[in-house]
Copies of this chain bind each other. A is one copy, B any other.
Amino acid sequence: MYPDEFPRNAWYVAARSAEIEQGRMLPRFLLGDPVLLYRTQDGTPVAMVDRCVHRQMPLSLGRLRGDNVECGYHGLTYTPTGACVRIPGSTRVSDKVRVQTFPLVEGDGLVWIWMGDPDQARPAQIPDHHWYTADGWSTAAGTLHMDARAQLLNENLLDLSHLSFLHPESIGSPEIAELPITTTWDDHTVTVRREMAGVSCPPFFTRVTGIDSPIDRQQIAEFFAPAFHITTTTVKPSGDPDDSRMCRQKTMHAITPETRTTTHYFWSVSRDYAVGDDSVTDYTLSAVAGVFEQDIAACEAIEHIIAAWEPSYPLELNIKVDAGPLRSRRILEKLLAAEGAAAGARPQDRFTDTATRAAARAWTERATILSG
């Protein structure tokens, strides 16, 4: 089974920092809810439900008034904490009039959101990803969108065997398909590792590192449930006695459900080689986006199949390389069970997938117009 549900008591990436610009509103569906993201005048990011408490008008169709948001329909005005401070035509505003806001944490190029029980939010749970902005590293980053449920991408990223088949012309090579992997895990993470000694250098790495002889390559995929991945790749000329020519790459993948069956994909590739070389950054931007688009296309094709047969699609065959992906399902199921004591009562249990997808699409189009 591919779950199309997601825990809410968890940190998800809401945006890359660069996407939330001063003076602009960024409307975006997250976990099935419409969210308005913006920055106060001192730069602090704010997230509130993008729906006025009066007549459900999206606040993102209104106006920023300093740090506040004025609804574009009848002028109710909200502060960054969600308090309503003006109701045109009414002289008093009750303290109870509020729009829901969400805890945010910004750091290392990302803005994280907590959409569950706010009392359980612990910023310390956010995985480390300091390479994004650290000295000695250069980073290429982007945001993609996928018309498929998030878990398909979680599983793709925990599976090292697809590189040879889905990405043979960039980061995969045929001989690594049969090399063994090791899988380890705990309650919240899964780690999959493959050591590849003396293999041919895939085209992407030749291009960015300049190595065209056989390499020793190591790849470690780490999953931080429910929605974050760091893939570490090291490459060095095979048999190099020390590690002086070793190239390290940290790839971050933040997989945030937009709706039950659509997904935001925030990514970055940080490298400790060719630091500051813009041509390598530019090449990485386009090459990596190309690789990720192949992953997205695969997940979307599978989503089509699942959606047409759900809930009774045929049993899947599990094979050796599925150890990591299957473990991620187990962890998600446990997280869902933990908060789903009240299953059916969680916000996303109620929404209609088709209508929510249509709304999410409209919000994305509006975001494009607003950032116009």
Residues of chain A at the chain B interface (Cβ within 8 Å)? 32, 34, 51, 53-58, 61-62, 70-76, 87-90, 97, 155, 159, 161-162, 164-166, 177-178, 180-181, 297-298, 300-302, 304-310, 312-314, 316-317, 319-321, 350-352, 354-356, 358-359, 362
Q: From known contacts A53-B314, A178-B88, A312-B350, infer whether A301 and B58 are also in contact, taking CB-CB under 8 Å.
A: yes
Chain B residues with CB under 8 Å of A75's CB are: 161, 164-165, 177
A56 in contact with B319 given A166-B72, A359-B304 (CB within 8 Å): no
4 additional A-B pairs beyond A72-B166, A88-B164, A90-B319, beta carbons within 8 Å, are A34-B305, A56-B316, A72-B165, A75-B177
CB A87 to nearest CB in B, in angstroms, measures: 5
Contact between chains at A319 and B73 (CB < 8 Å): no
User: 30 pairs across A/B with beta carbons < 8 Å?
Assistant: A54-B317, A55-B316, A56-B302, A58-B302, A61-B301, A62-B165, A71-B165, A72-B298, A73-B165, A74-B165, A74-B321, A88-B321, A89-B161, A89-B177, A89-B178, A89-B180, A90-B319, A97-B317, A300-B362, A304-B355, A304-B358, A304-B359, A304-B362, A307-B352, A307-B355, A307-B359, A308-B351, A308-B358, A308-B359, A309-B351
Chain B's closest residue to A181 (CB) is B89
State A73–B304 Cα separation when bound (angstroms): 16
Q: Which chain B residue shows the least CB distance to A309? A: B351
By CB atoms of chain B within 10 A, which of A165, A166, A316 has the most? A165
Interchain nearest-CB distance for A344 vs B (Å):
12
A330 to B: closest C-beta gap in Å? 17
In the complex, the count of this chain's copies comes to: 3
Complex Cα–Cα for A87 and B162 (A): 12
Given contacts A72-B298, A309-B350, A358-B307, contact A53 B317 (CB under 8 A): yes
B301 near A57 (CB under 8 angstroms)? yes
Q: Which residues of B contact A301 (CB under 8 A)?
A: 57-58, 61, 362
Interface centre among A164, A302, A306, A351 (most CB of B within 10 A): A302
Q: Sorted from nearest, which 7 A-B pairs have the closest CB atoms?
A: A304-B359, A88-B177, A307-B355, A308-B356, A308-B355, A75-B165, A308-B359
Q: How far is the CA of A55 from the CA of B97 in the complex (A)?
A: 48
Residues of B within 8 A of A308 (CB): 32, 351-352, 355-356, 358-359
- Residue numbers in B under 8 Å from A54 (CB-CB): 316-317, 319
Q: How far is the CB of A191 from chain B (nearest CB, A)?
A: 17
Contacts A75-B177, A304-B359; A316 near B350 (Cβ below 8 A): no
Chain B residues within 8 Å of A310, by CB: 352, 355
Known: A178-B88, A301-B362. A70 touches B165 (CB 8 A): yes
Return the chain B residue nearest A350 by Cβ: B312
Q: Provide the residues of chain B in CB contact with A61, threshold 8 Å.
A: 297-298, 301
Which of A166, A180, A306, A309 neighbours the largest number of chain B CB atoms within 10 Å of its CB?
A: A309
Q: Contact: A319 with B87, CB < 8 Å?
A: yes
Chain B proximity of A17: nearest CB distance (Å) = 27
- Whether A359 contacts B53 in the complex (CB less than 8 A), given A74-B165, A87-B319, A165-B73, comes out as no
Check A73 against B309 for contact (C-beta < 8 Å). Answer: no
User: What's the Cα separation between A34 and B54 when bound, in Å?
Assistant: 35
Q: Given the complex, which residues of B lie within 8 Å of A314, measured CB to CB?
A: 51, 53, 56
Closest to A98 in B: B317
Find the residue from A159, A302, A305 having the highest chain B CB count within 10 A. Answer: A305
